[in-house]
Amino acid sequence: MNVSPEWIAVDWGSSNLRAFAMRGGEPLAESASGEGASGLAREDFEPALLRVIGPWLTEGRVTPVLACGMVGARHGWIEAPYRAVPCAPVAPGETILAPTQDPRLSLRITPGLSQASPADVMRGEETQIAGFLAGEPAFAGALILPGTHSKQARIADGKVLSFSTWMTGELFALLSQGSVLRHSLQSGEGEDLAAFVEGVGIGAEGRALRGLFALRAEGLLEGLPAQAARSRLSGMLIGAELAGFDPGGDCVVIGAGGLARAYLAALRSLGLAARACDGAELARRGLALIQEGKNL
């Protein structure tokens, strides 16, 4: 099957690369690889991209490619600028052209967002936010985008007013895989909701760092099961992220699966109403808006 797209949308984060062959705003085909931006040297980006989108390119024709995410970071393909909040999540006129070798490629990369105080940056999530606001243009409140580096963004009037980044997912990975706690957490897959909610309370009260070693000690002294320890750790870190959180309006968790369910359960246990929105297609939608030249 030959796919001949008008353009190609690329969501290129730290650990994954996802590409969509597009006709207007509609995807014709999708392809992906694990060659995330964080593992690539500058000269590796173009070959990594061609491995994924090569079959969609046509000899003698230039196909426009639009990419968002860590591909535009300082150690990415080329550093794209940041746009300072408060501002619309994306600005079609401000993409930058990346240097390419293959004559079939014309690659543009979208800017990230920055905040002066407290200092913060995002790359990729702004495009997801644009995709979300395309469906809910009047949204006012907070978006939570959980992950390795979880983002909380305040939204009103189609703009990102402010945001904060939390290393929640990375801390969980470091502590559960690389610290002394791994002995107490390993083979603890599955969810223990009561332990998770207990952890959320500990974290929301500012006691997450104090409570870390207790996971080990309770395992040694009381036989705390690995599943409960793992769920409590997850709750403690998410609770710490949500300590003092006030959506100031509607609250949506961008995500799906266990992680989105965990954030919804944490918010609920803190007395906050929220809903989830599957984020899988939002980056593609946001890129389509930029490609069409629509500010949002």
Show the tokens assigned to 296. Answer: 């949002």
CA angle 282/285/289 to nearest 5° reads 135
Tokens found for residue 150: 């979880």
When asked if residue 201 is in the footprint of a copy of itself (CB under 8 A), the reply is no
194 binds a copy of itself (CB under 8 A): no
97 vs 220, beta carbon nearer a copy of itself:
220
User: Given the complex with a copy of itself, which of 171 and 264 has the nearer CB atom?
Assistant: 171
Q: Cβ of residue 229: shortest distance to a copy of itself, in angstroms?
A: 11
Residue 281 as a binder of a copy of itself (CB under 8 A): the answer is: no
Q: How many residues does the chain have?
A: 296
Counting contacts by CB under 8 A, is residue 41 touching a copy of itself?
no
Q: Please report whether residue 165 would count as binding a copy of itself according to CB under 8 A.
A: yes
Beta-strand runs (E) in the chain: 7-12, 17-23, 26-33, 63-68, 82-84, 96-97, 105-109, 112-115, 120-122, 141-145, 150-156, 159-166, 250-254, 275-277
Cis peptide before 55 (omega within 30 of 0): no
Nearer to a copy of itself, 183 or 268 (CB): 183
C-alpha to C-alpha distance for 37 and 14, rounded to whole angstroms: 5
Q: What distance in Å separates the CA atoms of residue 253 and residue 258, rounded to the nearest whole number? A: 12
Nearer to a copy of itself, 23 or 210 (CB): 210
Interaction pattern, residues 223-242, with a copy of itself; x per rule: CB under 8 A: --------------x--xx-
Q: Is 42 in the site for a copy of itself (CB under 8 A)?
A: no
Question: CA–CA separation, 74 vs 121, rounded Å?
Answer: 12
- CB proximity list for 122: less than 8 A, separation 6 or greater: 112, 113, 151, 153, 163, 165
- Other Cβ atoms less than 10 A from the Cβ of 243: the count is 14
Quick check: 176 binds a copy of itself (CB under 8 A)?
no
Residue for token digits 């002294």? Answer: 221
**Part in contact with a copy of itself (CB under 8 A); list of ranges 56-64, 99-107, 115-123, 275-283:** 115-123
Say whether residue 119 binds a copy of itself (CB under 8 A): yes
Q: How far apart are CA 220 and CA 118, in angstroms?
A: 40
Name the segment binding a copy of itself (CB under 8 A); options: 57-65, 135-143, 202-210, 277-285: 202-210
User: Within 10 A of 208 (CB to CB), how many other CB atoms are there?
Assistant: 22
Piece of 169-177, 188-196, 260-268, 270-278 that binds a copy of itself (CB under 8 A): 169-177
Tell which one of 32, 121, 256, 273 touches a copy of itself (CB under 8 A). Answer: 121
Residues 239-258 that bind a copy of itself (CB under 8 A): 240-241, 243
Task: Single out the segment in contact with a copy of itself by CB under 8 A; choices: 15-23, 53-61, 108-116, 247-255.
Answer: 108-116
As beta bridge partners, residue 7 has 22
Q: Residue 62 or 173: which CB sits closer to a copy of itself?
A: 173
- Write down the least CB distance from residue 72 to a copy of itself, Å: 12
Q: Give the Cα separation of 55 and 57 in Å (integer).
A: 6
Find out whether 87 and 156 touch, Cβ atoms under 8 Å: no
Residues at the interface with a copy of itself (CB under 8 A) = 74-75, 82, 114-116, 118-121, 149, 164-167, 170-171, 174-175, 178-181, 183, 206, 208-214, 216-218, 220-222, 237, 240-241, 243
